[in-house]
Chains A and B, each alone.
Chain A
Amino acid sequence: MTVSDAVVEKRRGLSPRQRAQRSRGIQYAVLIVIVVVAAFTANWGQIASVFFKPEFVKSAFTSGLPGAFLKTIEYTAGAFVIGLLGGTLLALMRLSRVAPYRWFATAYIEFFRGLPAIVVFVAFSLLPLAFADLVIPLDPYGTVWLALGIVAAAYMAEVIRAGIQAVPKGQIEAARSLGMPAGVATRKIVLPQAFRIVLPPLANDLILLVKDSSLVFIIGTSAAAYELTGFGRDLANTESNLTPLVTAGFCYLVITLPLGLLVRWLEAKAARAH
């Protein structure tokens, strides 16, 4: 350190480290004030009895929460499969040399990505009115899977397209030089590598799908078909207490938090491979 540096330091009074310490001190002080004020002003008894009443947690478990939990997983899993298959098809169409395929895929993707998912669900709820003899098989699964899957396919198509384009060109050339027709090269060489690349973002899409499955109640399913949100809402309504909904909310975290860890683990693994 030179003499002039030392002079400047003195004039400002505080070193960068001292300033950082002071800033941290202020932040802690503000936090303590907020906590103290909240502790003294809030009606904790009422909050606890509205949001976290143990007997309602218990009644939620006995009156069908596990079933709703299972439904959420079933709805999500089926929609994920439809989204994955549809998304792969759309991604391949988007990269096709046949222009109309590209147009269709682009229009589809832009349309369903630009639309609030809830609009699609409202549309599905109105379908039986518009087409009286329309029967979507596997009720209620068929309708739910289709509604969720149609939107998911649009999101996944873009992810998968990026994955396909990230496969090095040399891989396709090697496949062609071995005499593989384009279809075989895509199926055996390109897609397996593309899916490895897009595994982390696809797992991310799965998390979004778990949450989107809550929109199912808009379609107007019967009580037996309720997933977590529908179940929690219904029970909270009848009990005039939010505890069932909070319980259902925690169930989502039971699904999404491990998935989030999975995404991070996959990302770390992908980073190591490079």
Chain B
Amino acid sequence: MTAAAAAEPAQSLAQPLVHAVNVTKSFHHNEVLKGIDLDVDRGQVVCLLGPSGSGKTTFLRCVNQLETIDGGRIWVDGELMGYADRDGKLYRLKNKEIAAQRREIGMVFQRFNLFPHMTALQNIIEAPTQVRGESRKSARERAMKLLDRVGLADRCNAYPAQLSGGQQQRIAIARALAMQPKLMLFDEPTSALDPELVGEVLAVMRELALDGMTMIVVTHEMSFAREVADTVVFMDAGVVVEAGPPKDVISNPQHSRTQAFLSRLRSEHEHP
């Protein structure tokens, strides 16, 4: 643990892994996040639901500083993301320090974003060898284990263009896991997939959750949220409308906006 983290008084395992307070973010005078509070405990899976434009993806990107926040604070494992707090004043961290913070957080994108000029295996070992200075041999060994875990050990030498969407996304998950992150962020990981390929990606994510990985998942897959999530957060127009266990929020929503969203999703599902 770093000296800065030790100096903060309340750093214990009882603290949530992710602690977001009053996070705000605007794009060109358009307020996308209007004060988001969110805690995620270690080993928890949180699913963010909500209509498009509700700010779910933006919030996810704020957690690992792909977007800078305008107000509020986000801590991950006791570390304030993107800033140094000196006597209550915030100072933006150097890019190198932010990069170091991001190493602890894996991210999976809607469009996979695998590196097209590298094989599956190279995609996975690139960051551990370049960023962590791990030897190629040990990175390779771990990568092969991860490929085995996502069921693609036999495709280790394939280039992304030679893989199906579902396979690419599973490689992308393995790539993120290769950095041994404390937290995994999933940004609509199955939205760009053909329907028959969704299952294989959700299966990998389900297993990851069972292994105790802390996950924040932006998704429209209700059955996944119902089965796997510990907490479901419903967002609309930049605020958290309602949050709680899936059996409450999905099966018995209290807020009219949640009810409207879920019934719209259900009818789309039945009559696509």
- Give A contacts to B, CB under 8 Å: 168, 170-171, 173-182, 184, 188-189, 192-193, 196, 273
Contacts and interface: CB of A to CB of B under 8 A. Distances in A.
Contact of B117 (A170, A176, A177, A193): A193
A174 B108 CA distance: 8
Given A188-B130, A273-B161, A179 B103 contact: yes
Given A179-B179, A184-B131, 10 more contacts: A168-B113, A170-B109, A174-B115, A177-B64, A177-B176, A178-B131, A178-B175, A182-B95, A192-B117, A196-B117
Contact of A173 (B109, B117, B130, B172): B109
B100 interface: yes
Contact of A179 (B99, B109, B172): B99
Given A177-B102, A178-B102, A179-B100, A170 B66 contact: no
Given A188-B126, A189-B115, A193-B117, A178 B66 contact: no
A178 B179 contact: yes
B106 interface: yes
Q: Find the residue from A175, A178, A184 having the highest chain B CB count within 10 A.
A: A178
Nearest to B161: A273
B111 interface: yes
Contacts of B66: 173, 176-177
A181 B105 contact: no
A171 B115 contact: yes
A242 B116 CA distance: 52
A180 B131 contact: yes
Nearest to A168: B113
Contacts of B23: none
B102 A173 contact: no
A57 B95 CA distance: 64
B86 interface: no
B9 to A, nearest CB: 28
A166 to B, nearest CB: 13
Given A179-B103, A181-B99, A188-B126, A173 B131 contact: no
Interface string B106-132: 110101011111000000001100110
A158 B117 CA distance: 23
A45 to B, nearest CB: 59
Interface string B21-59: 000000000000000000000000000000000000000
Nearest to B110: A170
A179 to B, nearest CB: 3
B261 to A, nearest CB: 27
A180 B99 contact: yes
Contacts of B111: 170
Given A170-B111, A193-B117, A196-B117, A177 B105 contact: yes
Contacts of B161: 273
B131 A193 contact: no
Given A176-B66, A176-B102, A181 B107 contact: no
Interface in B55-90: 64, 66
Nearest to A177: B107
Given A184-B131, A188-B126, A188-B130, A177 B106 contact: yes
Nearest to B130: A184
B113 A171 contact: yes
A181 B176 CA distance: 16
A191 to B, nearest CB: 10
Interface in B146-201: 161, 172, 175-176, 179
Q: Top 9 nearest A-B pairs by Cβ distance? A: A179-B103, A174-B113, A178-B127, A177-B107, A170-B113, A179-B102, A181-B99, A192-B117, A179-B99
B269 interface: no
A168 B113 CA distance: 9
Contacts of B131: 178-181, 184
B96 interface: yes
Contacts of A173: 66, 109, 113
8 contacts: A170-B113, A171-B115, A177-B106, A178-B102, A179-B104, A181-B96, A184-B131, A273-B161
A259 B115 CA distance: 29
Contacts of A273: 161
A178 B96 contact: no
B15 to A, nearest CB: 23
Contacts of B116: 193
Contacts of A179: 99-104, 127, 131, 179
Contacts of B109: 170, 173-174, 177
A92 to B, nearest CB: 16
Contacts of A178: 102-103, 126-127, 131, 175-176, 179
A212 B179 CA distance: 49
